[in-house]
Chain A
Amino acid sequence: MMGRTIFIDPGRCIGCQACVSACRECDSHRGKSMIHLDYTDEGSSVASLPTVCMHCEDPVAPCAEVCPADAILVTADGVVQQADTTRCIGCANCVNACPFGVPKIDLQAKLQMKCNLCYDRTAYGLAPMCATVCPTGALFYGTLEELQAERPGVQVADTFVFGESEVRTGVAMVVPAERVQWPVPGGLPVVEINGKDVRR
């Protein structure tokens, strides 16, 4: 896992969308938010969780891998950058490739946009805008040690399974302690029924 990164703790999210607003204020894609806020169980619960770019590590960023124009670069410290404006042809391959549904296409500008971990801020030692403002700490920026120092006993996972494939990510998710040995299901098929893992 990377050094300083974002940790997502859905248990803390109050769905306030401060992260969404803050992302809009960030200079790198000013005016547009690159965060999705998902409501997991509409109609029966107020639960919500934010999705930021997970900065995939292994396999290296599917979005970047499929980009025919080599517009998406991954920095040495593992940050998957948003498409280079001079290269992006707006083909949306990245949108289809991303297992988390993160990149967005501005069709008019023929440009892909996505979270670049506020590179303009993190390069100066500041936290990304979303994790800075998140009133609850559902988005936390720092190292795993810092997270665990502040939230004793917290467990995180950085591996997600989509059917047969596993993706290891640079951004990690806080999970209930007893779940940590399993990768987090990222999509279909269902891996858990009535609390029992049905895959292995």
Chain B
Amino acid sequence: MTADPRAADGRTVVPLDPSLAPPGTRGFRDAGGIPADRWHADQNGETLVPTHCCFCGVQCGMYLRVDHGGKVFGVEPRNHDINRMRLCPKGINAYQQVNHPDRLTAPLMRRSRDEELREVSWDEALDFTVSEIKRIQQTHGRDAFGVLGGASLFSEKTYLVGKFARVALKTRHVDYNGRLCMVSAAGANKLAFNIDRAGNPFSDILLTDCLLLAGANVGECFPVLTQYVWGARDRGATLIVIDPRETAVARTADIHVALRSGTDSAFFNSVLNVVIEEGLTDEAYLAAHATGWEEVKANVAQYPPARAAEICGVPAEQIVQVARAFARAPKAMAFHARGIEHHTQGVENCLSVINLCTATGHIGKPGAGYGTLTGQGNGQGGREHGQKADLLPGGRSILNEEHRRQICEVWGIEESELPAAGTSMMEMVWQMQRREIRGLIGICNNPFVSLPNYAVVKEGYDTTEFHAQFDFFLSETAANAHVVFPVTIWAEDEGVMANAEARVVKHNKAQEPPAGVRTDTWAMCEIARRLGAGDKFAFGGSRDVFDELRRASAGTVIDYSGITYERLEETGGISWPCPSTDHPGTPRLFEDGTTYHTDGKIHMQVVEWHPPADPYDDEHPMTLTTGRTVAHFLSGNQTRRLGALVEQTPRPWAEVHPSHGFRNGEPVRVVTRRGSEVFPALVTEAIRPDTVFIPYHWPVPTAANALTIDALDPRSKIPEYKVCACRIEHAATIDEVPAPPVAPGHVAYPETQVSRTDPLPPTAPQGRGTSERS
């Protein structure tokens, strides 16, 4: 086994015992694995451009097939370290977006919301936008204009969003949709380790003896990671899954804890309680590497299994089983995702997992550690370089004078000019409702589907005096805007993303954008120029931005200064921190036992369980929880337009237990304190009887997020998507799914309409339709 992750040539090699290669890959690599250069050569008049999937935080490598005319027309799996040829259905179909007939190819504009959107020139759209920014800021102050970015953007662009807001618009109001994704994990990691990233590379999963997945539906949200999970199983690792639903991976788990949503921290506190009771803590590790242990120990004493079992609705023996399996394993790993992060106690949930890993000494070793699985492709990178309300590039704090000074130097502005910290995405919407924010630029996000409590969101956006949106398809949110800028899709520009391992990977340009489409970089720089900040935004393209980003991150924990495009192309990815061009990157953290706190210790935190924000009562006795389905991505603006994916999962459903007396496909009305909607029932024993599940990729009137609550975690400001009180009732008719909006003059793409008229839900468990729909 290559114990040293750093090969002599500087290439980052994941420490991987060849006998532990992910299932089914060794043969491919040795014989059938595609030699990159052979495929790069022009074989059938086509070129294969190596790049990565645009969707989830796994960031699978793929080739885009480009024809003689320079157009993307297909995909070929790529033998990249991360995915070793594997792709999920989203990845396979992603290329179909590039030349999709729904692509926006001209700016759209209207002067008031009573008018229809019409195509205009870039000049007209930019002029109007700039005059509205000036008008609003002159009348109501600079902070009356806000910017909302996205974590599907390349890191260069997320860096630019932060700089654009603070330097060109001089507003403190900038945030991004990663706020809806994994900021709870980020907050917990900062508190415990003072570094905001997962501790281990994916390949460590293959080395572990016990894998704990908490609120992580790996099979549907990160399908390609499943090969690592099965790889660990092949070696005999114990699999523990914590999830109110029996997901595809939970089905095969040694222990599946189907706890009640919103009780995770009580569960993990109790597991730690048992670990202590049974003498399974690693006291030597704790003494040397942790602070706060005594307080945590005293606190978890209040969570004996009997009490936690009551709170969580699971047998107390399961808690004991989990504690023993995790603590006794020579090496154990815990991964979590939105299931425990989307809560008003999201940060605490993650901290309770970190406490468990710390107390058992399962940190910082091959096969032992923790991690969060990022939902968006650049969920990790999107928050690193200043797109977040309170952060400056390199993860610097906007409240810290020293940090502010450093960034002002890079940006060439006075410290007094740099705005203060802003508010989070949901809070900005509330401010829009209250007319504190009167103008907004949204960049590649779709809050009309992705934010909770749709009525509030719609009111917030409708109240703004001016709203511009960047996108390549007309999202539900863009369709409500005053100006829509048609920008490039991932395959039309180059840039980097950081995946869930904090491995920075390079995306390459496969085709020229269609006429009329500009890069987000160009559009932001052009608005900045028109606002008089052109000298600070003289970027020719991603490369220039990346060079500034590297400088801006130098000396921080999130150090990119040693990462170059050339190195990324050579190595296939480098994990930060990477402080110099001869540094191999840092795939695994804390190998020497020190964290990034000044005392080098893990700061354990006391976690007190408290009930979710939306109380249960006789009218709303059940739990509504939401999540993803394998065929769709986030707000569905991209995937609800691809025929194969629409056919695979044409519409949302409400997953209910048979005990409620519904038949499959029968209309079920789900009622919460925010409203009600009717879905076809998907009756399955794979869900808790007290829980209803709805996937959230669709707009109203089939939007799970018209029902969810906009309560936030006080620290991370993540909404509590994963739990709210609800009831279910019989209904007469099922709410129809609206087709995705298209630009004026475009005809709705027929392929995406195929299954939309189908009144029946997918009948298969977890809502996946059969492949035989014809």
Among the listed stretches A15-23, A77-85, A158-166, which one makes contact with chain B, having 4 or more residues with CB under 8 Å of it? A15-23
Residue in chain A with minimal CB distance to B764: A39
Interface string of B202-226 (1 = CB under 8 A from A): 0000000000000000011001111
- The answer to whether B88 and A18 have CB atoms under 8 Å apart is yes
- The answer to whether A43 and B23 have CB atoms under 8 Å apart is no
A151 to B23, CA, bound (A): 7
Interface string of B63-79 (1 = CB under 8 A from A): 00000000000110100
Question: How many residues of B are in contact with the other chain, CB < 8 A?
Answer: 58
Interface-centre pick from B32, B83, B219, B249 (highest chain A CB count, 10 A): B32
Interface string of A54-95 (1 = CB under 8 A from B): 000000000000000000000000000000000000000000
Among the listed stretches A126-134, A180-188, A190-198, which one makes contact with chain B, having 4 or more residues with CB under 8 Å of it? A126-134
Interface string of B241-259 (1 = CB under 8 A from A): 0000011110110000000
A21-61 CB contacts (< 8 Å) to partner B: 21-22, 24-25, 33, 35-39, 42-48
A38 cross-chain contacts in B, Cβ below 8 A: 770
Residue in chain A with minimal CB distance to B218: A14
- The answer to whether A125 and B23 have CB atoms under 8 Å apart is no
A33 to B771, CA, bound (A): 9
- The answer to whether B22 and A137 have CB atoms under 8 Å apart is yes
A134 cross-chain contacts in B, Cβ below 8 A: 24, 86
Interface string of A127-167 (1 = CB under 8 A from B): 10101111111001111001101111000000000000000
- The answer to whether B26 and A146 have CB atoms under 8 Å apart is yes
B22 cross-chain contacts in A, Cβ below 8 A: 137
- CB of B458 closer than 8 Å to a CB of A: no
- CB of B600 closer than 8 Å to a CB of A: no
Q: How far is the CB of B563 from chain A (nearest CB, A)?
A: 28
- The answer to whether A45 and B771 have CB atoms under 8 Å apart is no
- CB of B8 closer than 8 Å to a CB of A: no
- CB of B686 closer than 8 Å to a CB of A: yes
B563-620 CB contacts (< 8 Å) to partner A: none
Total inter-chain residue pairs, C-beta < 8 Å: 167
A146 to B29, CA, bound (A): 12
Given A35-B771, A126-B34, A152-B234, A140 contacting B23 (CB threshold 8 A): yes
Q: Which of A36, A127, A140, A150 sits near B771, CB closer than 8 Å?
A: A36
Q: How far is the CB of B218 from chain A (nearest CB, A)?
A: 8
A115 to B223, CA, bound (A): 24
- The answer to whether B248 and A15 have CB atoms under 8 Å apart is yes
Q: How far is the CB of B226 from chain A (nearest CB, A)?
A: 4
- The answer to whether B74 and A25 have CB atoms under 8 Å apart is yes
A143 cross-chain contacts in B, Cβ below 8 A: 27
Question: How many residues of A are in contact with the other chain, CB < 8 A?
Answer: 47
A196 to B21, CA, bound (A): 36
Residue in chain B with minimal CB distance to A32: B774
A176 cross-chain contacts in B, Cβ below 8 A: none
Q: Which of B21, B220, B771 sits near A20, CB closer than 8 Å?
A: B771
A141 cross-chain contacts in B, Cβ below 8 A: 24, 27-28, 32
- The answer to whether B32 and A48 have CB atoms under 8 Å apart is no
Interface string of B145-177 (1 = CB under 8 A from A): 000000000000000000000000000000000
- The answer to whether A17 and B226 have CB atoms under 8 Å apart is no
Interface string of B92-126 (1 = CB under 8 A from A): 11000000000000000000000000000000000
- The answer to whether A46 and B85 have CB atoms under 8 Å apart is no
Q: Which of A17, A25, A46, A152 sits near B648, CB closer than 8 Å?
A: A17
B227-267 CB contacts (< 8 Å) to partner A: 227, 230, 234, 246-249, 251-252
Interface string of B25-39 (1 = CB under 8 A from A): 111100110100000
- The answer to whether A46 and B223 have CB atoms under 8 Å apart is no
Residue in chain A with minimal CB distance to B630: A16
A13 to B247, CA, bound (A): 12
- The answer to whether A46 and B248 have CB atoms under 8 Å apart is yes
Interface-centre pick from B19, B249, B630, B765 (highest chain A CB count, 10 A): B765
- CB of B768 closer than 8 Å to a CB of A: yes
Interface-centre pick from B23, B684, B764 (highest chain A CB count, 10 A): B23
Residue in chain A with minimal CB distance to B77: A132
A151 to B24, CA, bound (A): 9
- The answer to whether A15 and B92 have CB atoms under 8 Å apart is no
- The answer to whether B92 and A25 have CB atoms under 8 Å apart is yes
- The answer to whether B234 and A150 have CB atoms under 8 Å apart is yes
A125 cross-chain contacts in B, Cβ below 8 A: 31-32
B249 cross-chain contacts in A, Cβ below 8 A: 14
- The answer to whether B74 and A132 have CB atoms under 8 Å apart is no
Q: How far is the CB of A13 from chain B (nearest CB, A)?
A: 8
Q: Which of A11, A21, A151 sits near B89, CB closer than 8 Å?
A: A21
- CB of B631 closer than 8 Å to a CB of A: yes
Residue in chain A with minimal CB distance to B768: A15
Residue in chain A with minimal CB distance to B648: A17
- The answer to whether A137 and B24 have CB atoms under 8 Å apart is yes
Interface-centre pick from A15, A43, A129, A135 (highest chain B CB count, 10 A): A135
- The answer to whether B630 and A133 have CB atoms under 8 Å apart is no
- The answer to whether B246 and A14 have CB atoms under 8 Å apart is no
Given A127-B28, A127-B32, A133 contacting B766 (CB threshold 8 A): no
A152 to B19, CA, bound (A): 10
A39 cross-chain contacts in B, Cβ below 8 A: 764-765, 768, 770
- CB of B772 closer than 8 Å to a CB of A: yes
Given A15-B766, A42-B764, A132 contacting B85 (CB threshold 8 A): yes
A48 to B220, CA, bound (A): 13
- CB of B183 closer than 8 Å to a CB of A: no
- The answer to whether B28 and A132 have CB atoms under 8 Å apart is yes
A17 cross-chain contacts in B, Cβ below 8 A: 89, 630-631, 648, 768, 771
A150 to B226, CA, bound (A): 15
Residue in chain A with minimal CB distance to B58: A135
Q: How far is the CB of A124 from chain B (nearest CB, A)?
A: 9
A127 to B84, CA, bound (A): 13
- The answer to whether A14 and B220 have CB atoms under 8 Å apart is yes
A45 cross-chain contacts in B, Cβ below 8 A: 246, 251, 685-686, 765
Residue in chain A with minimal CB distance to B20: A150
A150 cross-chain contacts in B, Cβ below 8 A: 21, 23-27, 234
Interface string of A89-133 (1 = CB under 8 A from B): 000000000000000000000000000000000000111010111
Q: How far is the CB of B466 from chain A (nearest CB, A)?
A: 41
- CB of B658 closer than 8 Å to a CB of A: yes
A141 to B230, CA, bound (A): 16
A35 cross-chain contacts in B, Cβ below 8 A: 771
Q: How far is the CB of A166 from chain B (nearest CB, A)?
A: 27
A44 to B655, CA, bound (A): 12
- The answer to whether B87 and A133 have CB atoms under 8 Å apart is yes
A22 cross-chain contacts in B, Cβ below 8 A: 87, 92
Q: How far is the CB of B216 from chain A (nearest CB, A)?
A: 13
B51 cross-chain contacts in A, Cβ below 8 A: none
Q: Which of A44, A135, A140 sits near B685, CB closer than 8 Å?
A: A44
Q: Which of B19, B89, B658 sits near A16, CB closer than 8 Å?
A: B89
- The answer to whether A43 and B630 have CB atoms under 8 Å apart is no
- The answer to whether B86 and A15 have CB atoms under 8 Å apart is no
B247 cross-chain contacts in A, Cβ below 8 A: 46
Q: Which 10 A-B pairs have the closest CB atoms?
A: A14-B219, A137-B23, A14-B248, A137-B24, A142-B27, A46-B765, A21-B89, A135-B223, A21-B92, A146-B27
7 additional A-B residue pairs with CB within 8 Å, beyond A137-B24, A140-B23: A12-B23, A15-B765, A21-B645, A43-B658, A45-B246, A133-B77, A137-B230
21 pairs from A and B in contact (CB 8 Å cutoff): A11-B252, A15-B248, A15-B630, A15-B766, A18-B89, A20-B644, A21-B92, A42-B763, A43-B683, A46-B251, A125-B31, A127-B85, A133-B88, A133-B91, A135-B83, A135-B227, A137-B23, A150-B21, A150-B25, A151-B23, A151-B234
